[in-house]
Amino acid sequence: MEDIESISASIHDDITKVKNLKELSTLETLYLGRNGKINELLKKMKDKGPEERKTYGQSVNLIKENFIKLLISKKQALLTTANNDDYIDVTLPGNKYPKGSLHLISVAVEEISRIFEKISFIRVSYPEVEYEFFSFESLNMPKTHAARDDFETSFIQAPQHLQYGKMLLTPHTSSGQVREMWRVGTPPIRMINIAKTYRPNWDATHTPMFFQFEGLCIDTDINITHLKGTLDYFVKAYFGNDIEARLRPHHFQFTEPSFEVDVTCTVCKGTALVDKQRCRVCKSGWLELGGTGMVHPNVLISGKIDPNIYSGWAFGFGIERVIMMKYGIDDIRNYYSGDIRFLEQF
User: d(Cα 46, Cα 67) in Å, to the nearest integer?
Assistant: 23
Question: What is the residue-wise DSSP string for 127-177?
Answer: -SEEEHHHHTGGGT--TT-GGGGGG-PEE--SPPBTTTB-EEE-SSGGGHH
Q: How far is the CB of 317 from ligand DAH (least distance, A)?
A: 8
# chain residues binding ligand DAH, by CB under 6 A: 13
Would you say 152 is a known binding-site residue? no
Considering the complex, state which of residue 74 and residue 250 has its C-beta at the smaller distance from ligand DAH: 250
Of these, 172, 179, 190, 321, which contacts ligand DAH (CB under 6 A)?
Answer: 172
Strands of 245-250's sheet, edge to edge?
122-124, 189-198, 209-219, 311-318, 286-295, 255-264, 245-250
What's the sign of the alpha-carbon dihedral 236, 241, 247, 251?
A: negative
Q: Which is nearer to ligand DAH, 270 or 312 (CB)?
A: 312
Q: Which helix (H) or strand (E) holds 261?
A: strand 255-264
Shortest CB 186 distance to ligand DAH, Å? 21
Would you say 172 or 190 has its CB closer to ligand DAH? Answer: 172
Question: Using CB under 6 A, which residues numbered 4 to 33 contact ligand DAH?
Answer: none
Pairing of strands 245-250, 255-264: antiparallel
Question: Where in 287-316 is the site for ligand DAH (CB under 6 A)?
Answer: 290-293, 314-316
Of 215 and 270, which has the nearer Cβ to ligand DAH? 215
- The pattern of x and - marking residues 192 through 231 that bind ligand DAH according to CB under 6 A reads ----------------------x-----------------
CA angle 177, 182, 186 (to 5 degrees): 105
Task: Report the nearest approach of ligand DAH to the CB of residue 120 (Å).
Answer: 18
- Min CB(236)–ligand DAH separation in Å: 21
d(CA 130, CA 170): 6
- Least CB distance to ligand DAH at residue 127 (A): 15
- CA–CA dist 260, 247 (Å, integer): 6
CB 135, min distance to ligand DAH, A: 9
Measured from the CB atom, the residue of 133 and 252 that comes closer to ligand DAH is 252
Q: Kindly report the number of other CB atoms within 10 A of residue 182's CB atom.
A: 14
Q: How many CA atoms lie within 13 A of 152 on its CB side?
A: 8
Q: For 100-117, b where at least 16 C-beta lie within 10 A, e where not — what string?
A: eeeebbeebbeebbebbe
Considering only residues 96 to 155 of the shown chain, the ones binding ligand DAH according to CB under 6 A are none
Q: Of the two residues 26 and 125, which places its CB atom closer to ligand DAH in the complex? A: 125
Within 228-267, the residues that bind ligand DAH by CB under 6 A are 252, 254-255
| Stretch touching ligand DAH by CB under 6 A, among 44-52, 267-275, 284-292, 338-346 | 284-292
Q: By CB under 6 A, tell whether 174 contacts ligand DAH.
A: yes
Alpha-carbon span 279 to 289, nearest angstrom: 17
User: By C-beta, is 37 or 179 nearer to ligand DAH?
Assistant: 179
Smallest distance from ligand DAH to CB 174, Å: 4
Whether residue 140 contacts residue 253, with contact meaning beta carbons closer than 8 Å, is answered with: yes
* Bond prior to 187 in cis (omega within 30° of 0): no
The secondary element (H helix, E strand) that includes residue 112 is: helix 104-117
The binding site for ligand DAH (CB under 6 A) comprises: 172, 174, 214, 252, 254-255, 290-293, 314-316
- Binding-site members are 256
- Binding-site members for Mg(2+) are 256
